[in-house]
Structure 1
């Protein structure tokens, strides 16, 4: 069994295996005993550390999946082991890119930066230059290439839905030269015109609010019929929340911020006002 941190596809498949076991009315010990899988191994499997192919088929049989349904499960198993396109760039994505790659919808609140899916290349370079570990050379170019490729999903035939809520202070940060800053803000306005993109701005005149606690993202998997995942990136790493109670708290927080924020037309007007001021 692999020992590295499982990717999003493995964890999603592991969640399905767990639900199969629960539907079969089996404990981890009962499910694993005929396969010589102890409770510790079963626990790891259900966290995304998938077994080998024969072990996987053994679990399907144990959970009562009929052989004629195996093909779909095997396709999911094979896909979970595929390396994502981003691996070719040699990046440490803090677990996020693999989550986003399979998501149908991204809801993100950003307190300090323009969301990566809405950044111009100049905006990306400014963001990476200001990191705790500033990037340069090939590493920087790879990060930019990956982010630009991620953005193409907004205009795919089956586009990613994006709802971005941005604190007004982000619009006014002097991270770029004036012409670059205007181009970045114009880019946000242009993207907001896409039918699958919603951009709202929380004005500073709201004063203190719960969004001051920090940025966060919620990813939804409607097509895969999987539960939402909440994601927080911080200066030392990242956190992923999959428990229903925690994810629901993130959804409530996002809804609250959406209510505080200007609606789309007023948000666009504010962005254009900032452009005029620059």
Structure 2
């Protein structure tokens, strides 16, 4: 069975607690004994495999002689369930990291990025799934996607989106002509937002680096948090934080963005596609 990625906030907190111990020059055995904890239990906390409560973190701050004003609030936040849990969706851990991200760079090949989809387009995609799902399941999926999209226009929690879309995604008739026309019009509207950059890889470009598959790069407001590379596939997803792989993904994104049409040329192509 595939091991599920621990929640982002818990991973961030775990890294901080481990750093506090190391800065205090204490071994995990010494810390566990002083905290009256089993060594394996403390190891699992530092690996983000298990949750930690405010009482233990208070003891850690005293033991490590390290005080951070908002650390206990971070502990409380890490204990909260994600907003998407109320919808009962299995998102392969993506919503957890997107919720915390400040910027997203996405390569989309055959479908419009989820943050830029209309409701009708999203429903048409779900209707095409080979697995049958209830109307409640689809309604929940749509509601979650619409909730995510609010951040593109939320001045208090604005998300920056830089999307490179293959022209094939614009021409694939998802849901029929009426649905696709509304989707293309929506793309034009979203491309006008100051925090959204939309570029299209034209069909006449030929072969390009992105043909092996799309991906999403997420960056976070805290500079201590490394970028995350998210790649989904038919039966799951990968969360990659290895710096060499992140560097390769950034280079691929920059290369494709440079080969794509400019934002203005991309909108013009979408408008021509509409006219056709």
TM-score normalised to structure 1 length: 0.89
Corresponding residue for 2:143? 145
The answer (yes or no) to whether the contact 1:161–1:196 under 8 Å persists in 2 is: yes
Q: Per-residue CA shift, 1:52-72, capped at 9, x if unaligned?
A: 333323333343313xx3x40
Summarize the Cα distance change of 1:21–1:203 in structure 2 as closer, same or farther, 3 Å threshold.
farther
Whole-angstrom CA distance in 2 between matches of 1:13 and 1:218: 21
The CA deviation at 1:236 is 0.6
Corresponding residue for 1:45? 45
Correspondence list, 1:14-163, <5 A = 14-37=14-37, 40-48=40-48, 49-66=50-67, 69=68, 71-158=69-156, 159-163=158-162
Q: Per-residue CA shift, 1:184-203, capped at 9, x if unaligned?
A: 01101100100000011111
The CA deviation at 1:103 is 1.1
Summarize the Cα distance change of 1:120–1:17 in structure 2 as closer, same or farther, 3 Å threshold.
same
Whole-angstrom CA distance in 1 between matches of 2:206 and 2:31: 54
Secondary structure at the counterpart of residue 227 of structure 1:
coil
Whole-angstrom CA distance in 2 between matches of 1:205 and 1:269: 15
Corresponding residue for 2:220? 221
The CA deviation at 1:273 is 1.2
Indicate the RMSD between aligned Cα atoms, in angstroms. Answer: 2.2
Structure 1 stretches of 4+ with a deviation exceeding 6 A read: none
Whole-angstrom CA distance in 2 between matches of 1:20 and 1:40: 18
Whole-angstrom CA distance in 2 between matches of 1:132 and 1:28: 49
Whole-angstrom CA distance in 2 between matches of 1:257 and 1:45: 40
Whole-angstrom CA distance in 1 between matches of 2:80 and 2:211: 38
The answer (yes or no) to whether the contact 2:51–2:79 under 8 Å persists in 1 is: no
- What count of residue pairs does the alignment treat as equivalent? 272
TM-score normalised to structure 2 length: 0.90
Summarize the Cα distance change of 1:244–1:153 in structure 2 as closer, same or farther, 3 Å threshold.
same
The answer (yes or no) to whether the contact 2:87–2:144 under 8 Å persists in 1 is: yes
Whole-angstrom CA distance in 1 between matches of 2:242 and 2:40: 20
Q: Per-residue CA shift, 1:142-178, capped at 9, x if unaligned?
A: 1101111111111101311111111111111122211
The answer (yes or no) to whether the contact 1:232–1:238 under 8 Å persists in 2 is: yes
The answer (yes or no) to whether the contact 1:132–1:235 under 8 Å persists in 2 is: no
Q: Per-residue CA shift, 1:208-256, capped at 9, x if unaligned?
A: 2221111111111124742211111111111111232222222222112
Q: Per-residue CA shift, 1:111-150, capped at 9, x if unaligned?
A: 2211000000111011212234343310100110111111
Q: Per-residue CA shift, 1:32-61, capped at 9, x if unaligned?
A: 343355554344223322333333233333
Q: Per-residue CA shift, 1:64-97, capped at 9, x if unaligned?
A: 313xx3x400000001111122111111121111
Whole-angstrom CA distance in 1 between matches of 2:39 and 2:250: 33
Whole-angstrom CA distance in 2 between matches of 1:26 and 1:250: 37
Whole-angstrom CA distance in 2 between matches of 1:213 and 1:265: 26
